[in-house]
């Protein structure tokens, strides 16, 4: 018998939505930058007007994760934490609304 093939799941993208990002007060200013950058990178109506919204696809998510490269030292670390918190909150918002 052959072992069952492992299934791979790949995130293609998601629509930006309202969500609550849990982050410390010292990182709030970076969260604003992350959100603004995400909106600039997002593609409006990626799947047509019927679906609508601003969509972050895999390429745009990768670009957003490169945002800390434009900062130095501690700020780069703070931006990185803010990016990951933002993406995590967006995904939690999606799974919560679909449950």
For residue range 23-68, list pLDDT tens digits in order.
Answer: 999 999 999 999 999 999 998 876 667 777 888 999 999 999 999 9
Q: Report yes or no: 37 and 54 within 8 Å, Cβ to Cβ.
A: no
What's the pTM value of the predicted model, to 2 decimals? 0.78
Q: How many domains in the chain?
A: 1
Residues spanned by the domain of 43: 16-98
Distance CA 19, CA 86 (A): 9
Distance CA 41, CA 61 (A): 8
By 3-state DSSP, what share of the chain in percent is helix, strand and coil, each rounded to 5? Answer: 55, 10, 35
Within-domain flag for 8: no
Distance CA 54, CA 43 (A): 5
Within-domain flag for 37: yes
Within-domain flag for 1: no
């Amino acid at each position: 018998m052959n072992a069952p093939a492992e299934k791979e799941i790949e995130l293609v993208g998601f629509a930006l939505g309202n969500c609550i990002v849990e982050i410390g007060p010292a990182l709030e200013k970076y969260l604003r930058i992350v959100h603004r950058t995400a909106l600039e990178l997002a593609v409006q109506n990626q799947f047509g007007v019927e679906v609508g919204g601003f969509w972050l696809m895999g390429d745009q998510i990768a670009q957003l994760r490169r945002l800390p490269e434009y900062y130095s030292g501690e700020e780069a670390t703070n931006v990185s934490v803010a990016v990951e918190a933002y993406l995590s909150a967006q995904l939690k918002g999606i799974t919560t609304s679909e449950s």
